[in-house]
Amino acid sequence: MSAPERIPARGVSAAELLRRGELVVRGRIPEASNAVLQCEVTYEGESLTCVYKPVAGERPLWDFPDGTLAEREVAAYEISEALGWGLVPPTVLREGPHGRGMCQLWVEAVPEAELLALVDAEEPAEGWKAVGFAEVGAGRTALLVHADDARLRRLAVFDAVINNSDRKGGHLLPGAGERLYGIDHGVTFHVDDKLRTLLWGWAGEPLTEEARTALGALEKRLAEGQPLAARLCELLTGAEVAALRGRISVLLTTGRHPEPSGEWPAIPWPPI
C-alpha cells in the first residue's frame, strides 16, 4: 500500500484517520528491537493498516536520554512534509491500546525495485554510486553501491538534516507509483554529528538546486515564532532544535552533501 494523501471515500487525510480512528492490534513485528505492532485503524467506515510503536515498549538508549523515539519519528515526518518531498509515511502521536505512541501508515515495498547492491568490481557501473568495500566472507570483498536515483538523493539530504544515525537498507521502502519512503527515524536529531547511512554516494558533491530551494524554505519555517518551530519544540529539546537549524545552515553555506566526519562509524550495523 502506498501512502495516500487522502482517503477517497470521505476526503479524510491519512494522518487524520491515523489520529482519530479506532486502533486495533493485529500482530507484532518480532524482529524489531522495540515494540512494533501492526494494527488496523478505522474511522467513519474507512480503514488503513498502520504501525503502532508505544512509548512503553521503547528500549532506553544511553545516547538518546531525552524525549522518546516516538516523538523523534513524528518530528522526522514533520520535517519531511516541510521539505515537500513526502519521504516519510504519515505519522502521528496518539493514545493506543498500550498507551501513547507513534502511529504510522503501513507501506508495502515494491519487491522488484533495486536500490542497493554488492558488486564484484572496483568502480560502480553507470547509474550507481559507490559507498565502499564490504567483507563478504572467505577473505573476499565486494563494492557496496546504491542507485544514482533522485529519490535516494532527496533522502540523503533529509537524513543529513535530521542527523539520522541508522539509515539501513531495510529502512528504504520503494512504494507504488515510483514513490520512495524512509522509515524508522527514532534515533535522529542528536546534537552531535551521528550521521550513519548507506547513502554516501553523493558525499562532497554539490547539492541540487531543488535541495537548496527546499532547505532555504525549511530554514524560514524553522525561524523563532513559526508554527513548525513551535511544533518541533513540543517533540524535541531546545538544544536539538538549535542543532537542527545549525545543520541546515551548514548545508546551505557549503552547498554540498556532507562527508563522513571520521569521529563516528559512517555506516550503520548491520547495514541491511
Average pLDDT over the chain reads 90
User: Predicted confidence band at 112 (pLDDT cuts at 50, 70, 90)?
Assistant: low
Confidence of residue 9 (pLDDT cuts 50, 70, 90): low
SS3 30: coil
pLDDT of res. 247 = 98
Residue 4: which pLDDT band, with cuts at 50, 70 and 90? very low
User: In the chain, pLDDT over 90 holds for what percent of residues?
Assistant: 70
Taking a C-beta distance cutoff of 8 angstroms, is the pair 53, 70 a contact? yes
Of residues 236 and 28, more confidence is placed in 236
Mean pLDDT along residues 227-242: 96
pLDDT for position 6: 53
Q: Which residues contact 250 (CB under 8 A, 6 or more apart)?
A: 258
> Mean pLDDT, to the nearest integer, of 152-157?
97
- Dihedral Cα 62, 38, 81, 75, nearest 10 deg: -20
Task: Classify residue 225 as left (phi > 0), alpha (psi -120 to 50) or beta.
Answer: left
Which residue(s) pair with 101 in the sheet?
54, 94
- pLDDT tens for 50-65 read 999 999 998 888 888 8
More reliable by pLDDT, 217 or 28: 217
Q: How far is CA 110 from CA 87, 113, 153, 191, in A?
A: 15, 6, 19, 34
The confidence score (pLDDT) of residue 134 equals 78
Helix (H) or strand (E) holding 34: none
DSSP 108: -
Q: How far apart are CA 269 and CA 272, in angstroms?
A: 8
Range with the lowest mean pLDDT among 2-6, 60-64, 88-92? 2-6
Sign of CA dihedral 59, 65, 67, 70: negative
Which has more pLDDT, 261 or 161?
161
Q: How confident is the model at residue 2 (pLDDT cuts 50, 70, 90)?
A: very low
Sorting pLDDT into bands at 50, 70 and 90, what band is 30? confident
pLDDT for 8 beyond 90: no
Which pLDDT belongs to residue 41? 96
Confidence band, pLDDT 50/70/90 cuts, at residue 132: confident
Label residue 7 by pLDDT band (50, 70, 90). Answer: low
Residue 1's pLDDT band (cuts 50, 70, 90): very low
The arithmetic mean of pLDDT across residues 107-121, rounded, is 84
d(CA 240, CA 222): 12
- Cα–Cα distances in angstroms (integers) from residue 26 to residues 23, 37, 50, 57, 246, in the given order: 10, 7, 10, 16, 41
pLDDT per position as a tens digit, 175-229: 877 889 999 999 999 999 999 999 999 999 999 999 999 999 999 999 999 999 9
Angstrom distance (rounded) from CA 18 to CA 14? 6
pLDDT reading at 3 higher than 50: no
